Amino acid sequence: MPERFFETLAAKTGAAPRRAPARLKARLYSALVARQAPLRSVSETADLCVFENLVRIAPVGERVKSLNFCRVCHARLLAETFEHPPIWWSNCPYARFGR
């Protein structure tokens, strides 16, 4: 229901649709992930970034493997600061926002 309201409202303005800036997408993603309950363990997850893969193979407990590693990753800071962040590793959600 709210989606249709905003679509109708946007249609009335006559403005051409625009993409959200990558920095805004990164900040929203960070805020949404930070508000979530504990995340699934990286042992149970596919399509991991390079840092999550390191944690997955590390000899640590499941509690550690459920942490939000993006919160301390430098890719998050780059993506929240630059429109086209210099992040190239695969499966990083922040690298996708700048494309």
Per-residue pLDDT, 57: 92
Q: Examine residue 15 and state whether it is found in any structural domain, yes or no.
A: no
Averaged pLDDT of the chain: 85
Q: Determine, yes or no, domain membership for 11.
A: no
Q: Residue 86: give the domain boundaries.
A: 20-97
* Structural domain includes residue 36: yes
Q: Does residue 5 sit within a domain? A: no
Mean pLDDT of 73-89: 86
58 in any annotated domain: yes
1 within some domain = no
Tokens in use for 41? Answer: 């363990």
Inside any domain, residue 12? no
Number of structural domains in the chain? 1
Domain assignment present for 70: yes
Helix boundaries (H) for the chain: 2-13, 22-35, 50-57, 62-65, 74-81, 93-97
